[in-house]
Structure 1
Amino acid sequence: MNKKPLEQIKNVTNVTGYRQVSLWKREDLQHPQPDELAEEVPVALVYNGISHVVMMASPKDLEQFAVGFSLSEGIIEHRREIFGMDVVAVCNGLEVQIELSSRRFMGLKARRRALAGRTGCGVCGVEQLNDIGKPVQPLPFTQSFDLANLDQATAHLNDFQPVGRLTGCTHAAAWVRLTGELAGGFEDVGRHVAWINCWAGGRKSARGGSMAPRWSPAAPAMKWCRRPRCAASRSCSRSRRPPP
């Protein structure tokens, strides 16, 4: 395989995440008005030529999504186990073609998992009933966040939602410094995808990578979500490991 190394894929996905449409209002059907609509497309994650899963996502920041999904699903332990990546447009959507290390690919083939995406509640996609509600060990208490700084963080969340400002229909996830300043964030039509992108970006930046802003993976994370349990469980389980 001849994929681009991770340090060279910053600008692979050059898609805005929205498209221009015409809007007809009932009171004036003769004069359509321009409007913007957020895009969502099927995205296939393909490991070493084998399609692993298809999920709906905004067609932007797909490299971050692929890394975050691979980390949070336990497919890889470190970013360096992904040797390269390409984003390719196909007739029915987009493929993220990932070159995985031989050891990790062997482990992936040996695993049995349901391919339904775990989108919000944490139940869809589990392999058996016993996997539901597994206890998550609490992380060690290392810092606290003053809720008085929360208003400052939420006031600037739209800074990371250029598509959301146009369309009003994207979710956001962001890293928040203890002072309430937003250090970085992502948006997506799917709230789980925005979280995975943000989480992957924070972990990557711990190694001084060039694909995202430098923020600390130990900082508080903020996500607009009605069902945050799945995201919290993923973060707690993976944050125990050393940053990749």
Structure 2
Amino acid sequence: MPIDTRLDGDPASLFSGAHWLRGRLGAEADGCATALRLAGDEARHSWVGAAGAAFSERMAAAAVLADGLRTEAEAAATTFTEYGRTLATAQGLMQAARSLAAGQGLVVAGTTIYDPIAPDPLVHAQQRTAYMLALQQVTGVRTMMASAQALARARQAASQAVPPIGPTDVVGGAAGQTARLTENRNGTTPVEKPGNEPAARPGTEAEKPADKTAERPGAEAEKPADKTAGQNLPAHERAHIVQQRSGADR
């Protein structure tokens, strides 16, 4: 039966990934752990009250997680490098198997080596020997790659079991601590921000400002004098009213 010598993968990309894990992610995680420890030490020695100690402990715990990330990055980089080397070796052996088969007259199409087909018994025997050697080599390569893949999966499982570091490991719950630290260091109470007025209780209406123009109970609203009153009366009645008003003025 045909021998499949195909083996996918790019060792160069694995080496590049290992370089990034070790030189970029690992280095940044190491720097993060150092910065967290420095921040915790400063809080412990310069902040007043229990809040400083609490913040320092939080930074120390986060630094441990950052150390774990640094360790996992280094371990993953090592796995990438080892797997890349194994893959490069395996691909070289697959190519050697194809070259061996082709050198003895076997048909090789792409990455597939076909069975001997020579009609001459002597040539057929030589091809059969080359075919068996190629098959033995390919089988060994498959076993080698299976072991490398098992190690890579084990490394992946180990990495997944390590708690990752996240933003909440550093800043979660720090808002209240910051407010207390400000109060302890300055001796003042934090100023309440506007817009935090309590809302109206459910089932009640919000209190409205008093209406200064509201009418007094039992009293009618004062109406402006009608300047046109009496203008529609006959002339003799208007004259009589004027005489009455003149007498009253006296």
TM-score range, shorter chain: under 0.3
Q: Which has the larger radius of gyration?
A: 2
Q: Which has the higher contact order (CA 8 A, sep 6+)?
A: 2
Higher-strand-fraction structure: 1
TM-score, length of structure 2 as denominator length:
0.18
TM-score of the pair, normalised by structure 1? 0.19
